[in-house]
Amino acid sequence: MARKKRETKTEETALTDGGGSAGEAASANGADEVQAVGADADEPGEELGAESAVRDAPESAVDAPVLDAAPTDGPDAPLVEQASELRTELEDEQLDRVVEALLFSVAEPLTAQRIGEAAGSSPRRVKSAIDRLRRDYAVTNRAFGILEIAGGFRLYSKPEFAEYVARLDKVRAPERLSPAALETLAIVAYRQPIVRADIDAIRGVNSSALLKTLMERKLIRAVGRSERPGRPLEYGTTKRFLDHFGLGSVKDLPRVEDLKTP
């Protein structure tokens, strides 16, 4: 009995000693794993630090575009142009006033290109300024507007004020075209380019004096020479003709069929 108890105690002692060794080994392994995890976490920590620096940086420093290095041609060019417009957006109001002053200063239509050259701006920005002026005139109910005519832009008084403008025209006593001159002008407009001989054939009379008058009024001009014998001059209408009759181009002329009396 005593021998059996001693064997049992010896087994318990062995188990106790083995369990202690296993626990120490487990603790050592756990410490190594913790140390390894801490070492691996150094790199993510650096990334988190960089993200924090970006997050704490001023918004202008993070989002500001580097325009100087941007391309000036290719697929990204429109983006650069838009960024440039943002920098000059505060100048739009001044450009509107300049465009308005230029339109007031002349009687004939001005192209966007010509306005841009005088204003030191691009034709596209000039057209944007004209759109803004049109909206401003509409909102403030002005008596005039901007009309696109004869390949350009000009100021015009609204139709509801035509009666008053007509009274002023009577005071000015403007020169009016005779029926014969209007007839000749219509022939040139619809048949251009056309030589004098064909005009005379249509009218049945000599049109030399009328052609001279129309050229002095700058309603027609010589546009070239015919291949016929003698190479006679060919006549066509001018931009002033389009402006005078409120046409954008000769394509806007009424159709001959519509002018015939029923």
User: What pLDDT digit, counting tens, does each position of 40-58 carry?
Assistant: 444 444 444 444 444 554 4
CA atoms of 111 and 116, how far apart (whole Å): 9
Exposure class string for 246-259: b at 16+ Cβ within 10 A, else e: ebeeeeebeeeeee
Q: Which of 73-77, 111-115, 224-228, 241-245 has the lowest mean pLDDT?
A: 73-77
Residue range 107-123: mean pLDDT, rounded: 90
Q: Which residue has the higher pLDDT, 223 or 91?
A: 223
pLDDT digits (tens, 9 = 90+) for 178-233: 899 999 999 999 999 999 999 999 999 999 999 999 999 999 999 999 999 989 99
Query: Domains along the chain?
Result: 89-160 (1.10.10.10), 179-259 (1.10.10.10)
Are 146 and 137 contacting, i.e. CB atoms less than 8 angstroms apart? yes
CA atoms of 169 and 187, how far apart (whole Å): 27
Residue range 143-152: mean pLDDT, rounded: 89
What pLDDT does 262 receive?
53
Q: How far is CA 151 from CA 109, 111, 191, 248, 249, in A?
A: 8, 6, 21, 6, 7
Is residue 35 pLDDT above 80, yes or no? no
Are 232 and 196 contacting, i.e. CB atoms less than 8 angstroms apart? yes
Residue range 124-146: mean pLDDT, rounded: 93
Q: Which residue has the higher pLDDT, 165 or 221?
A: 221
Q: Given pLDDT bands bounded at 50, 70 and 90, which one contains residue 1? A: very low
What pLDDT does 89 receive?
43
Could you give the percent of the chain with pLDDT greater than 90? Answer: 36
CA atoms of 13 and 206, how far apart (whole Å): 143
Please report the DSSP string for 157-211 in residue order.
E-GGGHHHHHHHHHHH------HHHHHHHHHHHHH-SEEHHHHHHHHSS--HHHH
Residue range 48-77: mean pLDDT, rounded: 47
Is residue 78 pLDDT above 70, yes or no? no
CA atoms of 124 and 82, how far apart (whole Å): 12
- DSSP character at residue 254: P
